[in-house]
């Protein structure tokens, strides 16, 4: 069930909010837990059993890790942590990477003349990467004594399965929300007034911009493995650059707005990433909840930047290899991760990870950073390495010709205007992201934007949804 589907917009969300307003405050978590499981079951079907099994295992593990009996037995306590983490990673490895691993084994076996080996084909449960990282955050936070174990199973299910962020984030570390789970006192009216315009902003980003540009990106990439010409290659890269930003940041705005309307403050996930002055700065602004998760639970435990220059570079590359594979079981994602990790290492070597000192340097570095990010998205979007290298070669080696006929057909006047206007996002100031400003900003201008989002953008997006011009969020596949 997509946030931008008629079923969600006109039935599920209104019904949930109505019941939330009518029930006493103490029933908030129970309501969110139940509707979240219904929401997940609607999309995942029998794979809900997988989510529930992970919830039970990690809930029990947290109680055991935090028990008085194990406080004086550090080895046993650590053993329970390792078992819980192993369970979570095994679920992720089997369901997300089992098919990829079996295909690589089959390729090697065939190359060695040993014949074909069995291929594993498993459907990917939606949101598996996100709820796995939530479970890992929980057991590690409890183990570190960052937060006590959650005694209430209802509150634990609410944290793991909360439908605004269940299938595509933002990734909420347990210590960020544990106190909110216990605090059911809130002003429902103020929460709705702050949350709905934020939700409307995300809906507009998704339906009005991302879904409008999606057919252009799809058509331009459709023949990427062949002799794609230079104009089509650049159109493919730029269209996808805009699509993925407005799609994913739109989802995040909708998630934050929904969380706010239900009394929760979810972490921000985007802060004008295309205004970054370096790739290092880009990763402080893009999918920020994922960056923070890897920093807290992988980078710092590996030693961070405390072990010297070479260790720091090694740790950065490890993080981005994992980040790449987290997004998908494909060599293109691995290359995308290595590409960004390598850029971060180069920036540290050259000192470009620090802010520029002049206006000219800022302008030039923003342009270079945007170009590097666009190139990276080619690996992210392409189905194979052959497609990715074909597009990149066409982008930087002149191949004359008119736009591919399918891309030209997709690029009608409306989509051309939408793409041109959306590309101006790279010219916006690097500070004051619109989402947080709409949610908590003050002043007449902010009030005017909230009004436009509520009474113009949201109804217009709803009309487009009614016309059938919506598609699943890109990050649902991760």
User: Which DSSP helix (H) or strand (E) runs through 367?
Assistant: helix 359-381
Tokens of 475: 């990050």
Please choose, from the candidates 365, 223, 373, the residue with its C-alpha nearest in 3D space to the C-alpha of residue 283.
Answer: 373
Please choose, from the candidates 211, 222, 214, the residue with its C-alpha nearest in 3D space to the C-alpha of residue 239.
Answer: 214
Whether 55 and 157 have beta carbons less than 8 Å apart is answered as yes
User: Which DSSP helix (H) or strand (E) runs through 311?
Assistant: helix 309-327
C-beta contacts of 281-290 below 8 A and 24+ residues apart: 281/353, 281/355, 281/369, 282/369, 282/373, 283/340, 283/344, 287/169, 287/248, 288/170, 289/169, 289/170, 289/171, 289/172, 289/173, 290/169, 290/171, 290/323, 290/326
* Cβ-Cβ contacts under 8 Å for 34 (sequence gap 6 or more): none
**What gap in Å lies between CA 105 and CA 82, rounded to an integer?**
28
* Cβ-Cβ contacts under 8 Å for 283 (sequence gap 6 or more): 291, 340, 344
**What gap in Å lies between CA 318 and CA 310, rounded to an integer?**
12
Q: Which of 134, 135, 223, 327 is catalytic?
A: 327
**What gap in Å lies between CA 23 and CA 12, rounded to an integer?**
17
Residue 327 annotated to the active site:
yes
Please choose, from the candidates 274, 273, 277, 272, the residue with its C-alpha nearest in 3D space to the C-alpha of residue 359.
Answer: 277
Three-state SS at 147: coil
**What gap in Å lies between CA 324 and CA 336, rounded to an integer?**
6
Looking at residue 10, the DSSP 8-state letter turns out to be I
Please choose, from the candidates 471, 466, 453, the residue with its C-alpha nearest in 3D space to the C-alpha of residue 200.
Answer: 453
Tokens of 428: 């916006």
Please list the alpha-helical segments (H only) found in 112-187. Answer: 128-143, 153-161, 174-182
Phi-psi region of 286 (alpha: psi -120 to 50; beta: other; left: phi over 0): beta
**What gap in Å lies between CA 28 and CA 184, rounded to an integer?**
7
Phi-psi region of 127 (alpha: psi -120 to 50; beta: other; left: phi over 0): left
Active-site residue set: 327
């Amino acid at each position: 069930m997509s946030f931008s589907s008629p079923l969600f917009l006109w039935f599920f969300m209104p019904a949930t909010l109505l019941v939330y307003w009518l029930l006493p405050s103490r029933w908030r978590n129970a309501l969110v837990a139940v509707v979240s499981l219904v929401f997940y079951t609607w999309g995942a079907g029998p794979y809900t059993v997988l989510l529930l099994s992970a919830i039970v295992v990690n809930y029990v593990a947290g109680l055991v890790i935090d028990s008085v009996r194990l406080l004086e037995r550090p080895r046993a306590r650590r053993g329970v942590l390792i078992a819980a983490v192993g369970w979570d990673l095994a679920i992720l490895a089997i369901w997300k990477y089992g098919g990829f691993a079996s295909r690589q084994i089959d390729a090697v076996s065939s190359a060695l003349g040993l014949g074909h080996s069995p291929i594993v084909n498993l459907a990917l449960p939606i949101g598996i990467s996100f709820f796995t990282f939530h479970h890992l955050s929980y057991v590690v936070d409890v183990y570190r004594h960052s937060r006590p174990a959650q005694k209430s199973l209802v509150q634990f299910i609410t944290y793991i399965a909360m439908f605004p962020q269940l299938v595509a984030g933002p990734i909420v570390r347990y210590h960020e929300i544990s106190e909110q789970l216990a605090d059911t006192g809130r002003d429902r009216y103020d929460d709705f007034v702050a949350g709905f315009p934020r939700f409307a902003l995300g809906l507009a980003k998704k339906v009005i911009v991302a879904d409008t540009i999606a057919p252009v990106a799809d058509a331009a990439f459709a023949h990427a493995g062949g002799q794609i010409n230079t104009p089509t290659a650049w159109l493919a890269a730029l269209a996808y650059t805009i699509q993925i930003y407005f799609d994913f940041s739109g989802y995040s705005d909708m998630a934050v707005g929904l969380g706010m309307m239900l009394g929760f403050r979810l972490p921000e996930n985007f802060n004008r990433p295309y205004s970054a002055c370096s790739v290092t700065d880009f990763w402080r602004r893009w999918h920020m909840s994922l960056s923070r998760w890897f920093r807290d639970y992988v980078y710092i435990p590996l030693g961070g930047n405390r072990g010297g220059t070479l260790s720091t570079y090694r740790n950065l590359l490890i993080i981005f290899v994992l980040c790449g594979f987290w997004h998908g079981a494909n060599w293109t994602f691995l290359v995308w991760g290595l590409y960004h990790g390598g850029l971060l290492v180069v920036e540290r070597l050259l000192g470009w990870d620090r802010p520029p000192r002049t206006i000219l340097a800022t302008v030039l570095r923003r342009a270079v950073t945007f170009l590097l990010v666009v190139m990276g998205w080619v690996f992210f979007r392409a189905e194979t390495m052959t497609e990715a290298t074909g597009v990149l070669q066409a982008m930087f080696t002149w191949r004359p010709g008119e736009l591919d006929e399918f891309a030209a057909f997709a690029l009608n006047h409306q989509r051309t205007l939408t793409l041109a206007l959306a590309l101006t996002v790279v010219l916006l100031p690097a500070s004051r992201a619109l989402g947080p400003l709409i949610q908590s900003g003050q002043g007449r201008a902010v009030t005017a934007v909230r009004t436009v989002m509520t009474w113009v953008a949201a109804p217009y997006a709803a009309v487009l949804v009614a016309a059938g011009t919506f598609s699943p969020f890109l990050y649902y596949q991760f």
